[in-house]
Structure 1
Amino acid sequence: MYHFTALVTLLAIAFYFFTCINVSRSRTKTGIKVPAMSGHPDFERAFRIQMNTLEWMPIFLPALWLFAVYIGDAAAAGLGVVWIIGRVVYFIGYSKAAAKRGPGFAIQGIAAIALWAGAIGAVVLRLV
């Protein structure tokens, strides 16, 4: 069973849901009306945090699950937690200033690459 990976998946989705709520709150706070996508730097940063998280989900989630299946549940979940921590660091930094998004981006990027590389390595090893 993949209980730890399932829990990390649910936490990642919960974090993404949080970023959606944050965009809505930012719209209210800054007065940016739907369907506008720009107009205030605070809103634009909140929106980019949400969109960047969404952009990484199709990279992260399949790699997470394939890593769990081919390598192990606990190891996948551990790297998944690192990815979520990276997204939180990204959120905090980018919320303050675009220039502060780098450390969180690096953390989550390294975790995602580790999951993908581990999964593809394990799959290829089983093919040969």
Structure 2
Amino acid sequence: MYHLTALVTLLAIAFYFFVTINVSRARSRTGIKVPATSGHPDFERAFRIQANTLEWMPIVLPALWLFAIYISDAIAAAIGAVWIVGRIVYFIGYSQAAAKRGPGFAIQALAAITLWAGALGAVVLRLV
């Protein structure tokens, strides 16, 4: 069973839900009306955090599950947890200033690439 990977998947979805709610809160705080996506730097940063998280989820989630299936549930979950931590660091940094998003981005990108490369390597090894 893949209980740990399932838990990390649910935590990733919970984090995405959190950043989505944060966009709504930023709209209220800054007075940016729907459907506008610009107009106040605080709102724009919240919007980009949410959008960037969504952009990475279709990369991370399949790679997470393929890694778990082909390599290890526990290792996949651990790397997936690092991805979530990276997203949290990204959220904190980017919320303060766009220039502070780099460390979180690097952490989550490294975790995502590790999951993808590990899954790819495991699949290819089984094909040979």
Q: Fold match, TM over 0.5? A: yes
Distance 1:12 1:5 in 2: 10
Normalized against structure 1, the TM-score is what? 1.00
Corresponding position: 1:99 with 2:99? yes
Deviations 1:80-115 (A, max 9, x none): 000000000000000000000000000000000000
In structure 2, how many angstroms separate the alpha carbons of the residues matched to 1:28 and 1:18?
15
State the partner residue of 1:111. 111
The equivalent residue for 1:87 is 87
Residues 10-36 of structure 1, C-alpha deviations (whole Å, 9 max, x = no match): 000000000000000000000000011
1:1-128 equivalences in 2 (<5 Å)? 1-128=1-128
SS at match of 2:32: coil
TM-score, normalization: structure 2?
A: 1.00
SS state at 2:10 partner: helix
Identical columns (%): 83
Cα distance in 2, alignment partners of residues 76 and 21 from structure 1: 27
Q: Distance in 2 between the 1:123 and 1:36 partners?
A: 43
Q: Following the alignment from structure 1 to structure 2, what is the Cα–Cα distance between the partners of residues 62 and 4?
A: 15
Structure 1: give runs of 5+ residues left out of the alignment: none
Q: Which runs of 5+ in 2 are unaligned?
A: none
Tell me how far 1:42 sits from its aligned partner.
0.1
State the Cα RMSD in Å.
0.2
Residue type at the aligned position of 2:47: F
Aligned-residue offset at 1:119: 0.2
Q: Deviation above 4 Å: which 4+ runs of structure 1?
A: none
Q: CA deviation at 1:45?
A: 0.1
